């Protein structure tokens, strides 16, 4: 995504001066001019020169340059104000913006509290101007600086943001605090939703009147919270949010902070989403974000059945294990639900191992029978059911390189066939969903 700073490094007056030396352009059909410029869509520097030096190609180049913009907020710098200055000289540019990303990139220190107010004011002018915006992304700094919460914006800015939610088809919220629950009533055209580390708030006790808008086909959910304390997933299920049309579902089963292990109830939203979109799902990614897999899942029926998803093409299963053993847990029981004769385009397994220095000393407590069965299931059955297979072990919080190496050797030792087939992959990771 092109940043606003690099897209418009010169003013319109600069462009007028440069354009005087432009050669006469051949009298070609308008469609051909468009084709020529479209061929340059990935050549940003060339497009900038077109926009600055050629009157004929200026608007065509601007359409590509400003189709997607990113504004990163730092102390003492407000790119939205710069964008407003651009619109004063070239108001037509607002019509070209289809994708907008606003990113928090640094703390607002005491001396620049005015910066946040200026950003708030700028949003109230920028959002209404972007009449063709279809994709919006609001992001804070993970685990550091959340994006300024919508509830605390001045009324004009809050109304502008909420109004834009009504018309966009794609919304991404990462690390955003105090998002009013009412947004789910205005997502009339939304088809793609990505939520991570979002804190929703229902301080006014809002209750939906009638069904929520439902055109969502692609959804990605992780680490969601609702205040007053209640599961956001209970709200989704109660009001049938995103029911029945999903083609892509990526969901992390995360826990309330006061519980150490997930219960079978934590998998209820996953079951619910899959059950109501089983006939339309093409991509399914289910992960456990923390804790060990409950025994009720290891020995009871699977949380979902691939045989009930006739259009499924891509399956991904992952999970984090904080126990002192490498727990592959619930994965085999779900792989077993792939019907005989069915072939998916890809199957990806991404187990995560926490505190690897402890695991490196834990060979004596490994479930060798489970590991042996897991490997046999993959080599004898799963590999013939997919065009592409991968298994990636993510090793979390290694204190020493030796710890990481010992865990890799331990896994390779007990999954020798997968190792011989070069199917085992390892990566160092951090806590959280990147």
Tell me the domain boundaries of the chain: 1-65, 67-201
What's the rounded mean pLDDT across residues 227-238? 83
Higher pLDDT, 252 or 57: 252
Q: How far is CA 302 from each of CA 198, 244, 296, 348, 366, rounded to the nearest angstrom?
A: 28, 21, 10, 18, 23
Query: Tokens standing for 103?
Result: 């990113």
- Chain-centroid distance of CA 32 in Å reads 37
- Looking up tokens 């990935």 gives 42
Burial grade of 39 (CB within 10 A; 0-12, 13-18, 19 or more): exposed
Candidates 210, 204, 207, 202; CA nearest to 229 is: 202
The count of other CB atoms within 10 Å of the CB of residue 402 is 11
Name the pTM for this structure. 0.82
The pLDDT tens digits for 396-419 are 766 666 667 877 888 899 899 999
- Give pLDDT, residue 192: 98
State how far the Cα of 295 lies from the Cα of 256, in Å rounded to an integer. 19
Of 106-120, 194-208, 289-303, which one has max mean pLDDT? 194-208
The predicted structure's pLDDT at residue 154: 85
Q: Whole-angstrom Cα distance, residue 268 to residue 79? A: 43
In angstroms, the CA 343 to CA 337 distance is: 12
CA dist 120 and 147 (Å) reads 12
Task: Based on DSSP, count helices (H) and strands (E) in the chain, helices before strands.
Answer: 16, 13
> Which letter does DSSP use for residue 348 in this model?
E
Q: What is the mean pLDDT of residues 71-88?
A: 86
**Is the predicted pLDDT of residue 433 greater than 50, yes or no?**
no
Rounded distance between C-alpha atoms, residue 132 and residue 148, angstroms: 24
Find the range with the poorest average confidence among 6-20, 177-191, 256-270, 342-356.
6-20
CB 423 within 8 A of CB 391: yes
pLDDT-derived band at 265 (thresholds 50, 70, 90) equals low
Task: Express the helix, strand and coil content of the chain in percent, nearest 5 each.
Answer: 40, 25, 35
In this prediction, residue 73 carries a pLDDT of 83
Residue with the larger pLDDT of the pair 399 and 375? 375
Q: How many angstroms separate the most distant Cα atoms in the chain?
A: 80
At 24 the pLDDT is: 45
Bridge partner residues of 320 (DSSP): 352
Q: What is the pLDDT of residue 51?
A: 61
């Amino acid at each position: 995504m092109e940043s606003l700073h690099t897209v418009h490094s010169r003013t319109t007056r600069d462009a007028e001066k440069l354009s005087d030396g432009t050669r006469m352009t051949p009298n070609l059909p308008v469609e051909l001019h468009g084709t020529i410029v479209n061929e340059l869509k990935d050549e940003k520097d060339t497009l900038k020169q077109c926009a600055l030096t050629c009157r004929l190609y200026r608007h065509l180049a601007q359409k590509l340059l400003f189709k997607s913009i990113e504004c990163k907020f730092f102390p003492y710098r407000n790119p939205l104000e710069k964008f407003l200055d651009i619109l004063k000289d070239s108001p037509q540019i607002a019509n070209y913006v289809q994708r907008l990303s606003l990113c928090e990139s640094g703390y607002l220190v005491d001396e620049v509290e005015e910066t946040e107010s200026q950003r708030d004011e700028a949003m109230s002018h920028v959002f209404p101007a972007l009449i063709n915006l279809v994709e919006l992304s609001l992001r804070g700094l993970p685990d550091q600086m959340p994006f300024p919460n919508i509830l605390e914006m001045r009324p004009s800015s809050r109304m502008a943001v909420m109004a834009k939610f009504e018309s966009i088809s794609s919304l991404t919220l990462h690390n955003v605090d105090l998002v009013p629950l009412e947004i789910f009533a205005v997502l009339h055209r939304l088809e793609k939703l990505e939520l991570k580390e979002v804190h929703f708030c229902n301080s006014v006790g809002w209750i939906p009147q009638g069904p929520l808008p439902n055109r969502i086909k692609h959804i990605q959910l992780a680490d969601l919270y609702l205040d007053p304390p209640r599961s956001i997933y209970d709200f989704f299920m109660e009001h049938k949010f995103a029911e029945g049309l999903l083609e892509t579902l990526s969901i992390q089963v995360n826990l309330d902070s006061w519980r150490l292990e997930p219960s079978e109830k934590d998998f209820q939203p996953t079951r619910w989403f899959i059950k109501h979109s089983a006939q339309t799902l093409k991509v399914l990614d289910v992960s456990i974000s923390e804790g060990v897999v409950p025994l009720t899942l290891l020995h009871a029926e699977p949380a979902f059945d691939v045989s009930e998803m006739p259009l499924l093409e891509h399956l991904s299963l992952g999970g984090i294990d904080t126990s002192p053993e490498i727990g592959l847990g619930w994965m085999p029981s779900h792989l077993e639900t792939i019907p005989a004769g069915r072939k998916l385009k890809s199957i990806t397994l991404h187990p995560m191992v926490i505190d690897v220095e402890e695991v490196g000393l834990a060979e004596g407590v490994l479930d060798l029978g489970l590991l042996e069965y897991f490997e046999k299931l993959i080599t004898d059955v799963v590999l013939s059911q997919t065009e592409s297979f991968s298994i990636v072990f993510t090793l979390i919080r290694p204190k020493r390189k030796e710890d990481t190496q010992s865990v890799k050797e331990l896994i390779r030792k007990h999954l020798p066939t997968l190792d011989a087939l070069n199917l085992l992959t390892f990566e160092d990771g951090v806590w959280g969903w990147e």
